A and B are shown apart, each in its own frame.
Chain A
Amino acid sequence: MKKPELLVTPGSVTEIQKQIVAGADAFLIGEQRYGLRLAGEFSREQIKEAVRLAHEHGKKVYVAVNAIFHNNIANELDDYIAFVKEANADAIVFGDPAVIMAVREAAPGFPLHWNPETTATNYYTANYWGKRGAVRAILARELSMDAVIETKENANVQIEVQVHGMTCMFQSKRPLLGHYFEYMGQNMEVEKRQGAKNMLLHDEERGNKYPIYEDANGTHIMSPNDMCIIDELQDLIDARIDSFKIDGVLQTEEYRLEATKLYRKAIDLCVDDPSRYDEEKDSLFEAAESLQQDHRPLDSGFFFKETVY
């Protein structure tokens, strides 16, 4: 059986080298001007280097161009996309249809991965973007296991799901941390904390702590737990999901590398020796748990949780 791709989010070119050793198959990289919530900033030079390095080892590189664009950057997209093509990356990840328009101009036929995050919620719409150039859909993290599998069964495009890490719950264009400090009369803090990634919103009622940070795309609020389904991969592999993503945003390089090693082992076992995977999956989960900081418990995201409306 074909193994699903193990896709990770490196913070630097040197990390890519280590991630290859750790067992990653593909890399999502980019810069915040065009991409959302990335683990690292990659300049054009670094993207070229990353592609060269990855391709030497038979690995893939996808470039994030998935921000919500306003006119100023929409006008620059042709140039950036032409660069991505020239750098020989393997695909562009997008959410905004402006990217489709720019690809038609600057790199016709270049492979696209559709990732609007919260709004990729059914197979019909995945196939709709497939007809417009997407070869892959990255599903919303708010879907159940059954919905993910049903989507795969009905999809004409590859399906990618996140299996580990934090997820974004909220994106605002407004600088909400800066505004709070400004309201508090702490204008010094606005400057000092620009780009700070160590802030949490404490929701006392639920006992949750949500990471919150600002960047060029606005303010991002992240899930209080890290999802981890290292012990629940069998059904996804049986359904032939094409790519498993570990999102390593706001994590250390060390954490990301350890997570990659664990999932490498889990995927290999699950495909090559399912009965041993069954025996070892609990200890794999425990190993993942030992990587966690105290304030970030693991959970299974929305895979087994009911949502109403």
Chain B
Amino acid sequence: MKAAPFAYERPSDLNAAVALIAEADGAAKIIAGGQSLGPMLNLRLVQPELIIDIAGLAELKQAGRSGDELLIGACITHGDIEDGRIPDVTRSAMRCVAGAIAYRAVRNRGTIGGSLSHADPAADWVSALPALGAKVRLRSINGVRDLAVEHFIRGALETALQPGEIVEAVRVPVMRPSARWGYVKACRKPGEFAHAIAAVMIDPERGAACAVIGAIEAAPIVLRDAASLFGGSVTGNFRRQFDARVAEALLVEAGLANAADRHIHVAVLRRAIDEAA
């Protein structure tokens, strides 16, 4: 379990990194925390010609508020978020999600941008960030573009990144005071990959709800308008109005063949809604 030979570059700034990525024309892999890419290299599941190490880039390790959103650099670690080293605009929702990612050793190195780029369906940010209404900012030598996280995650280990592009930052809107947050995952033991995730942000004042069902071996199911889960409208009584049959139908539609798996996903969603209530 040792990686195949590869070249290694450690650019000194973001522009240099983006130039290198463009030059490599798809033959390079970007490494930040290496918590997923490291094992994949060692298992020889990926054999890139070049590894571009961005872990040292100061531009990607900053986080700051800009208007009504927080811009989080791609190389901010889960541990940074867990420990409150970046501003909290989600009333501790992100801190709680970060603190339950894998083990502390993973959180010390693993980054938010890396997690999204890897797009493992069982990863927490892949499900949590769409529910928070977050976007990713992608950079290439041609400039930047922003995508909603649910449009960025295309499938299991599949993203909208084009050759030459890199995740530069995550944009997380400030959570409204009236919004209610719920996040639940089912793991067989702490630190293990989840086998079901649900994230909900419900704002009865505005009659709005967003729900995400994740860890389904594909891109998560994102209901930007989740009113259908609550009989068509989101009210203060949303907990009682939750209709498990709608969730069940969504999972069938998403191709989850095993009834027990669907049952667990629906139970996890119900608990996330309970948590929000």
A and B co-occur in one complex? no
- Mark B residues whose CB is within 8 Å of A: none
